[in-house]
Amino acid sequence: QKEVEQDPGPLSVPEGAIVSLNCTYSNSAFQYFMWYRQYSRKGPELLMYTYSSGNKEDGRFTAQVDKSSKYISLFIRDSQPSDSATYLCAMSEGEYNTNAGKSTFGDGTTLTVKP
Amino acid sequence: DTEVTQTPKHLVMGMTNKKSLKCEQHMGHRAMYWYKQKAKKPPELMFVYSYEKLSINESVPSRFSPECPNSSLLNLHLHALQPEDSALYLCASSRGGLSSPLHFGNGTRLTVT
């Protein structure tokens, strides 16, 4: 079983829809939780990150971390065609842990937002 | 545009060639990374430098040789590659410690013929 499982998709939604992207994990040592967006032929772009539990909001994006359930989510409100990309969740252990520096990525979910 | 700059954008090399990939960041980040990404797969960690010292080598074959000349530059020297090494090679940096979020460049798309 993988340490990080991401809902595979692909996901296709109409413009304006609310999108929910999700990952589960098994390693309780994870403390940093990231979402990256990757457009075709580009590198991943850091969208949001959360340290430990809780919610974080940035414009149309909300990241949620539930450490008790080992579950993280990214919500996109009022989705736009420009949001069409592959979304990668990633997690890493704390600074002083053995695996510091080794982010574990989900396999990615490809989202298409149709006009 | 990203703040991590990688050159070249594309590279085609034969199996007997020697080439280098370059990465530069001017954000003052003290950790720099090389990742390899195959199509429709997540990035895979290759090397990590922290304060210009090699911290992590993920058992990468010796035909890949990293170098960190200073805190802003990272190179990846390539020699005697195989066709299966064809991939997108991504450089990243992080501001804080090794667990901080990554800032990626747009990568070098490498084809080995």
Chain A residues close to B50, C-beta within 8 Å: 101
Residues A82 and A37 sit within 8 Å (Cβ to Cβ)? no
Chain B residues close to A44, C-beta within 8 Å: 43, 90, 102, 104
Of A49, A95, A105, the CB nearest to B98: A95
pLDDT-based confidence at B2, cuts 50/70/90? low
Residues A79 and A15 sit within 8 Å (Cβ to Cβ)? yes
- Taking only the tens place, the pLDDT of each residue in B95-113 is 877 888 999 999 999 999 9
pLDDT-based confidence at B1, cuts 50/70/90? low
Of B45, B96, B101, the CB nearest to A102: B45
| Contact pairs from chain A to chain B, CB under 8 Å | 70
Chain A residues close to B105, C-beta within 8 Å: 43
- Taking only the tens place, the pLDDT of each residue in B57-77 is 999 999 999 999 999 999 999
- Taking only the tens place, the pLDDT of each residue in A53-112 is 889 999 999 999 999 999 999 999 999 999 999 999 999 998 888 888 899 999 999 999
Residues B33 and B101 sit within 8 Å (Cβ to Cβ)? no
